[in-house]
Structure 1
Amino acid sequence: MDVPGIALITGAASGIGKATAFSFARDGASGLALLDLNKEALDAVKFGIEDQERERGIMNPCRIEVYPLNIGDESQVNEAVQSIASTFGRIDYVANAAGVAMKHEGGAAFVETSDWDRILNINLSGSLFLLRAAAKIMLKQEPILSSRDSRPLQRGSIILFSSIQGVAGIPLSTAYAATKHAVIGLVRSSSEDYAKDGLRINAICPGYTETPLTTKSPQILQAMKERVATAVPMERMGRPEEIADGVIYLAGGRSSFVTGTALLVDGGYTQR
């Protein structure tokens, strides 16, 4: 998939973020910076990737560093991104898989302000904090060349996570849907700012996917199962690895002429 550079992945301790980390390593990234709240879980992902590379007999395994942080804390994000750039020398790909979801009993009229603020802080403000810090690094670095045909690729590629709820409404999901719509707006605006400079910015929009975020709440899981049965043409949930493949595509050289887009990976949900 042509991702020979350094990848920064948030939400990397579980779910789609974890799958994305394994996919970057599998497809040839030279370095991984894994970010999440849970240090122990991050270490487990790091060791798992290293074990996988040993089993595959990789001669030059990718370097992996872990960074515990809260994506909604601006100072933590800035410090982590600067540390990553210093450690690895550059940052080529960013995948912001960190996020939080919640259902609001009674709908929009009953959303608690504290819940609203928390979801906006993590899903939207966190996306801006990471994009802003990474873009400042990327815009100063030399473009990375493709490992396939030496096409001029980019100074960097940033993938923010939206959702099918970035393009469609789903009941009882006021704050989450608002943030995911806003992420697409952030991507479309910022991609215009830097397209000419070789910095590509895109969104990925997962459909119903089996992850800890979506399955740990019985209420959310039940709602997902009901929707999948009636509204997803493939009649199943996605796997984290299937979403990760979309991230890798948007990150690397196979998408060198793609920016400002929202890639829907949803089993056909939004085409209905």
Structure 2
Amino acid sequence: MNGIQDGVAVVTGGGSGIGRQSSLRFAEAGAKVVVADVDEDGGHETIEMIESNGGEATFVRTDVTDSDDVDAMVQTALDEYGGLDFAHNNAGIADEGTRLAEYDEAEWDRMIDVNLKGVWRCLKAEIPEMIERGGGAVVNTSSVAGVSANGSAHYAASKHGVIGLTRRATVDYAEDGIRFNAVCPGVIDTPMVQQAGEDNTEEMDRITAAIPAGRLGDPEEIADAVVWLCSEEASYVMGQPIIIDGGLLVQ
């Protein structure tokens, strides 16, 4: 894909689901990929998939709630491949939640620490290296819950915050040649969603029936958008939350 060839990308949450497919798509487009995840087995599986297709990638165990881990992730890109051009800050968690006033404070803090502050930690480490490189492109994973009242309160708050970070980063660093956008997936067929479906098949059937497309999204469909947003073909797309939800929110 235009502008991706020979670049260097980091992908958090790259051990499964959307992050895995994003890593694969970057590699297919010719980038060298640093796959980051707390799941070491999943991360190494992603590396094997990339290498079996002729791509080049490195795994680094990364907990996005740990600034040292995040710094080490970016340093791996520098040490292994000489720089950093693209980032997909995708790592996140979700749970069923409850009503806003009924959360335990530790539950609230955990969601914000991973989904929102984790993205901020990644940006904080990535941006200086992209400035040094002369520019770059970043995609942060938000959610349809980031542009609506879907999802639990702490999840929605975290994902709204990701869009806020994306927009502010655009204003702060456009002059440095760095573009920032966010993807807002709907209900995607990932291990997280599969587990939820196994726990409550009736609810999953209800959700699927409410999607105009009539199905769950494929992780590949989100990954394609991520890599396109990082390409030169999207050079005038900046600070945007891109909704990819099979028409869920148009109703």
- TM-score normalised to structure 2 length: 0.94
Size of the aligned set, in residue pairs, is: 248
What does residue 106 of structure 2 align with?
Answer: 114
**Any stretches of 5+ residues in structure 2 without a counterpart?**
none
Matched, 1:86 2:65: no
CA RMSD of aligned residues (A): 1.5
What does residue 95 of structure 2 align with?
Answer: 102
Q: Aligned partners of 2:26 and 2:121: how far apart in 1?
A: 23
CA deviation map 1:30-82 (0-9, x unaligned): x11000011222111111121123xxxxxxxx421110011111121112212
The share of aligned pairs that are identical, in percent, is: 34
Q: Aligned partners of 2:201 and 2:121: how far apart in 1?
A: 30
Quick check: 2:144–2:245 contact (8 Å CA) kept in 1? yes
CA deviation map 1:183-240 (0-9, x unaligned): 001111111111122100110100110101222134576544322312x211111000
**Any stretches of 5+ residues in structure 1 without a counterpart?**
54-61, 143-154
Aligned with residue 183 of structure 2, among 197, 200, 204: 204
Q: Aligned partners of 2:200 and 2:11: how far apart in 1?
A: 25
What does residue 42 of structure 1 align with?
Answer: 43
CA deviation map 1:14-41 (0-9, x unaligned): 0000011111111221x11000011222
Letter in 1 for 2:76: S
Q: Aligned partners of 1:249 and 1:183: how far apart in 2?
A: 19
- The aligned runs of 1:113-132 (5 Å cut-off) are 113-132=105-124
| Structure 2 SS opposite 1:214 | helix
| Structure 1 SS opposite 2:133 | coil
Q: Which moved more, 1:92-101 or 1:80-89?
A: 80-89
Alpha carbons of 1:260 and 1:221: their partners in 2 closer, same or farther (altered >3 Å)? farther
What does residue 52 of structure 1 align with?
Answer: 53
What does residue 213 of structure 2 align with?
Answer: 234
Letter in 2 for 1:158: V
Q: Aligned partners of 2:218 and 2:137: how far apart in 1?
A: 23
Q: Aligned partners of 2:200 and 2:90: how far apart in 1?
A: 19
Alpha carbons of 1:204 and 1:117: their partners in 2 closer, same or farther (altered >3 Å)? same
What does residue 170 of structure 2 align with?
Answer: 191
What does residue 243 of structure 2 align with?
Answer: 264
